[in-house]
Structure 1
Amino acid sequence: MAVSAHPQMTLTTPLHGEGARYDASLRLSVAPMMDWTDRHCRVFHRILAPGARLYTEMVHANAVIHGDRERLLGFDAAEQPLALQLGGSEPAALAQAARIAADWGYAEVNLNCGCPSDRVQAGRFGACLMREPALVAECVAAMVAAVDIPITVKCRLGVDEDNDYDLFAAFVDGQVQAGAAMVVVHARNAWLKGLSPKENREIPPLRYDWAYRLKQERPSLPVVINGGIASVQAAQAHMQQLDGVMLGRAAYHDPYVLHALEAAQTGMALRSREALLVEMRPYIEARLEAGLALKHITRHLLGLFHGQPGGRAFRQILSEGAHRPGAGWDLLEQALQVTRLQAARVA
Structure 2
Amino acid sequence: MNCRYFCTLIILGVSASLATPLQAASPDCLELAAQSASESTTVGELRDLCQSPLWSAATNPDDETQQEQAVVEPKHQNSGVVQQRFELERFTHDNPFVLTPHRSNYILPVSYRDDMFDYNSLAPGIDIQQDNIELEFQLSIKVMIWESIFENNGYLSMGYTNRSFWQAYNSVSSSPFRETNHEPELMLTFTNDWEWQGFRNVGNQLIFNHQSNGRSEPLSRSWNRLMLNFIFERDRFAMSFKPWYRLKEEREDDNNPDIEKYLGHFEWMGIYNWHNRTLSLMLRNNLRSENKGAVELGWSFPINSRVKAYVKYFNGYGESLIEYNNAIESIGIGVLISDWL
Query: Structure 1 length as normaliser, TM-score?
Result: 0.26
User: 1 or 2, which has the higher helix percentage?
Assistant: 1
